[in-house]
C-alpha cells in the first residue's frame, strides 16, 4: 500500500481507469444561470455560488476523475469570502472521495516558502493533498515544500514547461545547448530523488503543458520517477492523440487536467454539442467521460 | 503631480529623505512577549497578534519609511484568520499613511493572472497599492498585472534577480551570452515601456536582491525607467555601502527593503545592540532610522 500522494493517485488511476484531473476554475460570467446570484450580489454571495458550483462538479465527476484541481486565483479574486469558499470546496471534494491539488503556484525564498508549505500542506486552513509550485527561487526556495510533502505524504507539482505560448520567452531560452525547462527538469528530478525512498513516483511531480508533446518525450526521459500534471488539454488545445508522450511505457506517470472544457461543457466543447444550460450537470458528466475515453484511447487502452 | 504608484513612491522618498521599505514578516516564534498569545492559542488568536504587531510597526516606522511590504505567506500560513489579519494590516498601514506593497509573488497563465490582478490590485478584498509578480509565464501571464497597474495607478515589482543564493540555479543560466535574469530584465523593460506614458518610472518595477550589487549595475542600464525593489538588506547581508549600484545617478529609482532586521530589531541586529524585549518598539524605531541613515550615507547624501 503506497502511503504517499503520488502512490494514491496511481492507485486511483488504476481503479478508475482514468488519468483525468478536473480543474475547478469558477468564473462569475460562466456559471450556470441557476447558480448565478443577482447581478448586484456581493463577494459573499458570489463565493457561495462558487462553492455550490464546484461542490456539485465534484459529485458529478467523482466516478471518472482521479483528483480535482481548484485554481485558488479565482477564489482570491473574491477576497476573504472567496478563500472561505476555497476551503469549503476542498472539504466537499474530500466528501466526494477526490484528492485535491491546490493550484496555488507559490514560490519564494526558503524562510518564506516554509510558511507557504505550512499553510497549504501542513495544517493551515488552506491545507490540500498536493500543490503546484514555482521553481524560480531554486533549491532553497523549493526545499521547504519538498520536505513538507515527504513528511506528510503529500505531493508537489513544480512548473517545468507551462502550457501558455509566452511561457517560452523564459522557459525556452537555450543555455549550454539545452532549454531552461530541461535544466529545471534536472533540478526537479534531483529534488524528487532526495525523498523518493524507493517508491516508483517521488512526491515531487512536474507541470508539463499538454501543448508540448515533443518536448514531453525528452522531459519524460529526464524525470523517470516524476509524476506529470498535464494542463492545457481541451480549451487550450491539447488532445488525447498527442497525450501518450507524457506517460511512461506502462501508461502511468501522468494525469491530465482540463478545466473550462469540462466544468463549463454545456457552453460547447470540441467533443460535444452545445447543451441547454438547464442541463449543465449532464454536460459536465458527458464531458468528463469523453475526456477520460479520449485519453485512454490515446494510450491505446 | 504624478498619479501612478511609482510617482507617489518617488515623491515620498524625497519628502521623507528615505528609500526604506519595511517588510512585515510576522513570525510566531519571534513576536515580542507582550504580544504573544498563549502557547495553545488558535489561529484566530495568532492572527490577531500578527495584526496588532504589524499595525504597531506601521505606526512606529511611518515617519522614516516610504512603504511597507507585508509578506502574505506568513498570513496564509494561518489560513482564513491570517488573511483577515493581512487585510487589517493593509488598512492599518493606510491609516499610518504608508502605501502597501503586497509581497504575493503571484504568477500564472493570462486568464488566471487576470483573477489574481483583480483580487490584489483592483477591488478584491486583498487590494493593495502594488504587488510582487513572478515572470515565469512570460508576457501573456504578466500582461493582466501590467494592465491593472496602469489602469488603476498601481505598481508591480517583477522578480528579476532574487536575493537568495540558489535563485542563481535558474536565474544565472547563460543563454546567448547573457544570464536569464538579463533576458527577464529586457522583458520587464518592454512591459514597462508599453504603459509608461511619459512618466520617469513605469508602473512595472523589478525585484533585484541587495546581495547582487555587481549585477545591479548592469540591470540598472537595461531598465532605465524601472523602479527597483531591493530585498535582502540587513538579515540577508546587504549593506548601505554596496547599495548605490541599485540607484540612478540622481539617487532615485530604487527602494530598499528590510524585514527581520527592523521589525525584530530588539533581538540584535548588525547596527544596534540587543535591546531588552520590553523596549521592542524603541528598537524598531532605532533600526529603521539607522537603516535610513545607512542608505542615505551609502548614496553620499
Which cell numbers hold the place of A16?
478508475
Tell me which residue in A78, A80, A112 faces B73 most closely, judged by beta carbons: A112
Per residue in B64-101, pLDDT (tens digit) is 999 999 999 999 999 999 999 999 999 999 999 999 99
How many Cβ atoms sit within 10 Å of the Cβ of residue B165? 16
Of A109, A140, A166, Cβ closest to residue B137: A166
Cβ–Cβ below 8 Å for B184 and A170: yes
Cβ distance B109 to A164 less than 8 Å, yes or no, reads yes
What is the number of other CB atoms lying within 10 angstroms of the CB of residue A79?
22
Active site residue A105: yes
Instruction: Summarize chain B as % helix, strand, coil (round to 5).
Output: 50, 15, 35
Q: How far is B274 from chain A (nearest CA, A)?
A: 22
In the 3-class helix/strand/coil scheme, how is B41-105 assigned residue by residue?
Answer: CCHHHHHHHHHHHHHHHHHHHCCCCCEEEEEHHHHHCCHHHHHHHHHHHHHHHHHCCCCEEEEEE
Q: How far apart are CA B294 and CA A281, in angstroms?
A: 63
Cα separations in angstroms, A93 against A52, A96, B217: 12, 5, 50
**CB-based contacts of A77: which residues, under 8 Å, 6+ apart?**
B115, B116, B118, B119, B124
CB A139 within 8 A of CB A147: no
Shortest alpha-carbon distance between residue A164 and chain B (Å): 6
Q: Whole-angstrom Cα distance, residue B122 to residue B129?
A: 9
What angle do helix axes B110-121 and B139-152 make, rounded to 10 degrees?
A: 30
Among residues A105, A154, A274, A289, which one is catalytic?
Answer: A105
What size, in residues, is chain A? 301
Per-residue pLDDT tens listing for chain A (301 residues): 447 999 999 999 999 999 999 999 999 999 999 999 998 999 999 999 999 999 999 999 999 999 999 999 999 999 999 999 999 999 999 999 999 999 999 999 999 999 999 999 998 789 999 999 999 999 999 999 999 999 999 999 999 999 999 999 999 999 999 999 999 999 999 999 999 999 999 999 999 999 999 999 999 999 999 999 999 887 667 677 789 999 998 899 999 999 999 999 988 755 555 678 889 999 999 999 999 999 999 998 8
Contacts of A167 in chain B (CB under 8 A): 109, 136-138, 141
Residue of A133, A164, A190, A259 best to disrupt the B interface, most CBs of B under 10 A: A164
The ipTM, to two decimals, is 0.96
Contact B164 A79 (CB under 8 A): no
Amino acid at each position: 500500500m503506497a502511503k504517499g500522494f503520488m502512490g494514491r493517485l496511481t492507485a486511483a488511476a488504476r481503479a478508475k481507469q482514468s488519468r483525468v484531473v478536473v480543474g475547478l476554475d469558477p468564473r462569475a460570467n460562466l456559471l450556470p444561470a441557476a447558480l448565478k446570484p443577482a447581478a448586484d450580489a456581493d463577494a459573499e454571495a458570489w463565493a457561495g455560488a462558487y462553492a455550490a458550483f464546484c461542490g456539485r462538479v465534484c459529485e458529478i465527476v467523482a466516478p471518472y476523475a482521479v483528483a480535482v484541481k481548484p485554481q485558488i486565483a479565482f477564489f482570491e479574486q473574491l477576497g476573504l469570502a472567496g478563500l472561505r469558499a476555497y476551503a469549503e470546496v476542498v472539504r466537499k471534494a474530500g466528501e466526494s472521495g477526490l484528492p485535491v491539488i491546490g493550484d496555488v503556484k507559490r514560490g519564494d525564498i526558503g524562510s518564506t516558502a516554509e510558511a507557504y508549505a505550512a499553510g497549504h500542506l501542513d495544517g493551515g486552513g488552506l491545507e490540500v493533498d498536493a500543490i503546484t509550485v514555482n521553481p524560480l527561487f531554486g533549491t532553497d526556495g523549493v526545499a521547504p515544500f519538498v520536505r513538507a510533502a515527504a513528511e506528510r505524504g503529500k505531493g508537489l507539482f513544480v512548473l517545468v514547461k507551462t502550457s501558455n505560448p509566452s511561457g517560452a520567452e523564459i522557459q525556452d531560452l537555450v543555455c549550454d545547448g539545452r532549454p531552461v525547462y530541461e535544466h529545471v527538469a534536472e533540478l526537479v528530478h534531483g529534488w524528487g530523488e532526495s525523498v523518493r525512498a524507493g517508491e516508483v513516483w517521488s512526491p515531487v511531480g512536474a507541470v508539463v503543458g499538454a501543448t508540448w508533446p515533443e518536448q514531453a518525450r525528452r522531459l519524460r526521459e529526464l524525470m523517470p520517477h516524476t509524476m506529470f500534471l498535464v494542463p492545457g488539454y481541451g480549451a487550450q488545445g491539447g488532445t488525447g492523440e498527442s497525450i501518450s508522450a507524457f506517460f511512461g511505457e506502462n501508461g502511468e506517470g501522468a494525469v491530465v487536467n482540463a478545466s473550462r472544457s469540462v466544468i463549463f461543457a454545456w457552453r460547447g466543447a470540441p467533443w460535444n454539442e452545445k447543451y441547454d444550460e438547464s442541463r449543465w450537470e449532464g454536460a459536465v458528466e458527458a464531458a468528463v467521460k469523453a475526456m477520460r475515453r479520449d485519453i485512454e484511447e490515446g494510450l491505446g487502452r
